[in-house]
Amino acid sequence: MSKVANGERIAGLIRQDGPAVGLDWWGCGEMAGELRVTEVDGVPVYWVPGEGRMRASLWFRGGFADDTLPTHGWRHLLEHLALHDRDTIRVPINGRVTMLHTTFDAEGEPEDIVTFLRDLCGWLNAPDFGELEHERRVLRAESARRGAGPVELHMLWRYGAQGPGLVAYSEYGLQTAEPDRLRALAAEVFARGNAVLALTGHPPAGLRLPLPDGSRSPARVAVPCDQRLPLGFGGPPGSVAVSGVLQRSTVGPALGRALRRGLEDGFRHGAGVGYSGWHSYELVDAENAMLTAGIDMLPEARPTVVAQTLDVLRDLRQRGPDPTELRDDVDQEIRRIKAEPAEHWMPYVAAREVLLGRPVLERDELIAEAEEITVGEVRRAADALWDSVLLSVDPDATTDPRLNWITRPPGSRSTPTGRRFRAAGWPVVKGELTVGRSGAHLETGSAEASASYDDLAALIAYPDGGRQLVRRDGYQLQIEPARWRNGQQAVAAVDDAVSPTLKVPMPARDPEDIPRSAVTRRHLATYLLKKPAFWVALICVAVVVIGLASGIPAQRIAQPGAVAVLLVGVIVAVYNLRRG
């Protein structure tokens, strides 16, 4: 069967990004079915006849996946600034930045929509940053409350600190945003060639979209991290989730629902150790989506959670879903497509797909695609999913040998060379930091990590000197100057070598939160007193000093000194062995 974008309508696209906006009332073209299309000021307008108040949604191609880690949050900031003080009881508004799109929504009478869109486009054409600091504070507060859920964590482990993986990160761009750079981004994104308007109801008279000239921004291909899949990793406690990437089609959401039912049958209805299952189908680029399914579970499920989850996927790969269940599932989705008013979803899906360069389908075409779903197609989709599977489980369940587990960063292709720095607590604490012209390398007694400067997603910088070198794969090397001898010199060397465009200056940390060496003079003294070499050196020095002070010739000092050194060394060694 054909794999077309709008096929995902049966997955519940009714929730996709809300209201829409219209176009000039004259010369409106019509498509053969419910969906109409015309153009206003060079912007395509998709609309359907609607009842009641008009809803409008102005879409632009560009979302989180188009950011970099240092600019992550700029689009969100622009969206907030563009809508600042526009919300009223008469005309409620909203804005969203999603993985691949940015939208501005409003609901009101036709004349209200005309005014809203005119004023909004005017701001987008000539942004005013008078409220920049206000909205920056608002979004910092919002970002501080936002946590990464299972879907975001799977994006992170799959894509790292770039592309779709950015949805798991704090909006570091709130620290780097400044008017000139925001203005340049606005001119690139909020252009008429990069926009589509969705509208419920006939485009009202007087509608204008005064956007600047510009071209469509194609969606970047989502590139996963270089790692051998399938893999597992420790996720949120008390949960399990499995994800994979599929080419977009109607079959993907059907597989997601089958996975959810399989997890519920095993953990909830069968063993009685799980709650309600869930599934998600998120676009990562124009052609692919990440399918995720999971369930919360009780602690007693941990010993078998990996085996049971893999068994659900194995059954779908080998036999596909139960034919009766699949038929009932598809019939339910078809009823939903038939019953859902077009104004609730059709123009918005059209806007999304047009901006991604995908075909726009009518209701009958979506139904026809759903009717073609077979057990064999779902089975083949499950088989394809396996090639890119990531499984997250409760951290206490990450020992099952049926799966390889992510336990440490992948090895570096080469170890950077350069100046070496000892741990501040040396020799009590073992460790060495190497900072060179091409990268940095940290080695402790139990682990090591490297970061090449040309493979960095960002350099997070704190005023106290703390640095986080975030690699594109999401792993990071942390340098805390207080933990290294001459640590500030190490930080200065890193700052000189890394491109300024990657640097994210952070607010000052609470002094209690700044990592420092925990080694005290008492720790050092205790450590040295247990070392025979220390006593040997101390006795040698003492014997020589006393002998010379007494006028004894050096050759007469050597023999008794050697005996004393040997005796003390043996005593200290035996003492240490007995203490373990």
Rounded distance between C-alpha atoms, residue 352 and residue 413, angstroms: 40
Q: What is the pLDDT of residues 111-144, one digit of tens each?
A: 999 999 999 999 999 999 999 999 999 999 988 8
Asked if pLDDT for residue 366 goes beyond 60, the answer is yes
CA–CA distances in Å: residue 52 to residues 36, 106, 201, 405, 436: 18, 14, 9, 54, 66
Q: Contact 231/406 with Cβ under 8 angstroms? A: yes
What is the per-residue DSSP string for 155-205? HHHHH-SSGGGGGGS--THHHH--HHHHHHHHHHHS-GGGEEEEEESSPPT
Q: How far apart are the first and last CA of the chain?
A: 69
Asked if pLDDT for residue 1 goes beyond 70, the answer is no
* pLDDT band at 445; cut points 50, 70, 90: confident
Q: What is the pLDDT of residues 560-577, one digit of tens each?
A: 655 555 555 555 555 555
Asked if pLDDT for residue 579 goes beyond 70, the answer is no
Rounded distance between C-alpha atoms, residue 409 and residue 473, angstroms: 9
Structure tokens at 309: 């989850």
CATH number of 419-513: 2.30.29.30
Q: What is the pLDDT of residues 377-403, one digit of tens each?
A: 999 999 999 999 999 999 988 888 889
pLDDT on residue 472: 97
Strand partners, 358: none
Longest dimension (CA), the chain: 115
Q: State the amino acid at position 468 in one-letter form.
A: Q
Considering the segment(s) 231-344+359-397 as one domain, its CATH architecture is 2-Layer Sandwich (3.30)
Asked if pLDDT for residue 87 goes beyond 60, the answer is yes
Q: What is the pLDDT of residues 173-184, one digit of tens each?
A: 999 999 999 999
DSSP type of residue 15:
G
Rounded distance between C-alpha atoms, residue 580 and residue 576, angstroms: 6
Q: Which residue, among 450, 396, 132, has the nearest Cα to 238 in the 3D structure?
A: 396
Asked if pLDDT for residue 107 goes beyond 60, the answer is yes
pLDDT on residue 85: 92
pLDDT on residue 548: 57
Q: Mean per-residue pLDDT for 259-278?
A: 92
Strand partners, 421: 433
Domain 5-200 in CATH 3.10.180.10: no
What is the per-residue DSSP string for 478-517? EE-GGGBTTHHHHHHHHHHHS-GGGEEEPPPPPGGGS---
pLDDT on residue 24: 27
* pLDDT band at 470; cut points 50, 70, 90: very high
pLDDT on residue 15: 25
Radius of gyration of the chain (CA): 31
Asked if pLDDT for residue 434 goes beyond 80, the answer is yes
Q: What is the pLDDT of residues 505-547, one digit of tens each?
A: 999 999 988 887 665 556 445 555 555 655 555 566 665 566 5
Q: Contact 424/482 with Cβ under 8 angstroms? A: yes
Domain ranges across the chain? 5-200, 231-344+359-397, 419-513, 530-579
Residues of the chain with pLDDT > 70, as a percent, come to 82
pLDDT on residue 281: 98
Q: Mean per-residue pLDDT for 226-250?
A: 95
Angle between helical axes of 74-83 and 110-125 (0-180°, round to 10): 130
Q: Mean per-residue pLDDT for 203-229?
A: 96
Asked if pLDDT for residue 27 goes beyond 50, the answer is no
Q: Mean per-residue pLDDT for 312-331?
A: 97
* Of residues 275 and 278, more confidently modeled: 278
Q: State the amino acid at position 199 in one-letter form.
A: L
Task: Go through the chain and tell me how many residues it has.
Answer: 580
pLDDT on residue 79: 98
pLDDT on residue 7: 35
* pLDDT band at 266; cut points 50, 70, 90: very high
pLDDT on residue 436: 95
Q: Mean per-residue pLDDT for 456-483?
A: 96
DSSP type of residue 66:
G
Do the first three CATH levels of 5-200 and 231-344+359-397 match, i.e. the same topology? Answer: yes
Residue 78 sits at the vertex; the CA angle it makes with 72 and 79, to the nearest 5 degrees, is 105
Q: Contact 467/503 with Cβ under 8 angstroms? A: no
Residues of the chain with pLDDT > 90, as a percent, come to 71
Q: Mean per-residue pLDDT for 327-354?
A: 95
Q: Which residue, among 411, 500, 431, has the nearest Cα to 461 in the 3D structure?
A: 500
Asked if pLDDT for residue 275 goes beyond 80, the answer is yes
pLDDT on residue 5: 32
pLDDT on residue 16: 28
Q: Which residues contact 155 (CB under 8 A, 6 or more apart)?
A: 164, 165, 167, 168, 282, 284, 290
As a whole number, the mean pLDDT across the chain is 87
CA–CA distances in Å: residue 222 to residues 75, 290, 340, 378: 19, 10, 32, 23
Strand partners, 44: 39
pLDDT on residue 52: 85
Structure tokens at 181: 């750079």
Q: State the amino acid at position 169 in one-letter form.
A: Y
